[in-house]
């Protein structure tokens, strides 16, 4: 028997598909504290991100874009995870997420903190797609930096 597409299930987990079909936090913010466009130069995936800050807390986030299922679902998953966190916490989450994508062992505590974003773990087995999952996280860092200097 030749192998079919079964291994793809690990990549396209239900949580991810759900976020791709129905992306969260896509409403544009009226008065964002910062706003960035991120493009993956290798494939053209685009993420547009807006942050609303309440002091140091990331009170609102908007993520829209164009691209593959991984890049767009990752943006939506990110938005759910970081909303309501401080910028410090959001940066920590980015490090944890990146660690997961780079194949680091995940403690129970880290797995708890990454929550639904764990669904992106399957991307690790498809190395060329890791950059798709990381695109919106680098957009987030740029947006946080921008918000910090804008203050």
Partner 1 sequence: MTPGAPLDVQRIRADFPILTRQVNGHTLTYLDNAATSQKPRQVIESLVDYYERYNSNVHRGVHTLSIEATEAYEEARGKVQRFINAPSPESVIWTRNTSESLNLVAYSWGEANVGAGDEIVTTAMEHHSDIVPWQQLAMREGATLKIIPETETGRLDMEQAASLITERTKIVAATHMSNVLGTVNDIKALADAAHKVGAVMLVDGAQSVPHMPVDVQALDCDFMAFSAHKMLGPTGIGVLYGRPEILEVMPPWMFGGDMILEVSYEDASWNDLPYRFEAGTPNIADAIATGVAVDYLSALGMDNVWAHEQQVTAYALGKFAGLDGFNLLGPREVEDKGAVISFSHDSVHSHDLGTALDQLGIAIRTGHHCAMPLIRSHGIVSAARASFYIYNTEAEVDILVDGLIEAESYFSKAGIL
- Site residues for partner 1, 86-145, by CB under 8 A, read 126, 128-129, 132
In the complex, least distance from residue 151 CB atom to partner 1, rounded to whole angstroms:
34
Helix (H) or strand (E) holding 51: strand 46-54
* 17 near partner 1 (CB under 8 A): yes
> Distance from CA of residue 73 to its chain's centroid?
7
Choose which of 21, 28, 92, 103 interacts with partner 1 (CB under 8 A): 21
* 68 near partner 1 (CB under 8 A): yes
- Cα–Cα dist 21/94, whole Å: 24
Q: What angle do CA 9, 137, 93 make, to 5 degrees?
A: 90
- What is the edge-to-edge ordering of all strands in the sheet holding 46-54? 34-39, 46-54, 57-66
* 42 near partner 1 (CB under 8 A): yes
Contact footprint for partner 1 (CB under 8 A): 2-5, 7-8, 11-12, 17, 20-21, 42-46, 66-70, 126, 128-129, 132
């Amino acid at each position: 028997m030749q192998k079919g597409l079964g291994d793809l299930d690990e990549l396209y987990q239900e949580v991810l598909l759900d976020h791709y079909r129905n992306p969260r936090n896509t409403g544009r913010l009226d008065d964002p504290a910062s706003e960035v466009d991120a493009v993956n130069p290798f494939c053209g995936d685009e993420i547009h991100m807006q942050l609303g800050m309440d002091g140091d807390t990331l009170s609102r986030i908007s993520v829209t874009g164009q691209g593959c299922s991984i890049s767009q679902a990752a943006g939506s998953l990110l938005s759910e995870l970081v909303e309501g966190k401080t910028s410090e916490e959001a940066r920590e989450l980015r490090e944890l997420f990146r660690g997961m994508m780079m194949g680091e062992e995940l403690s129970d505590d880290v797995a708890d903190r990454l929550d639904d974003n764990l669904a992106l773990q399957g991307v690790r087995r498809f190395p060329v797609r890791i950059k798709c999952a990381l695109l919106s996280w680098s957009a987030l860092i740029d947006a946080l930096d921008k918000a910090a200097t804008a203050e």
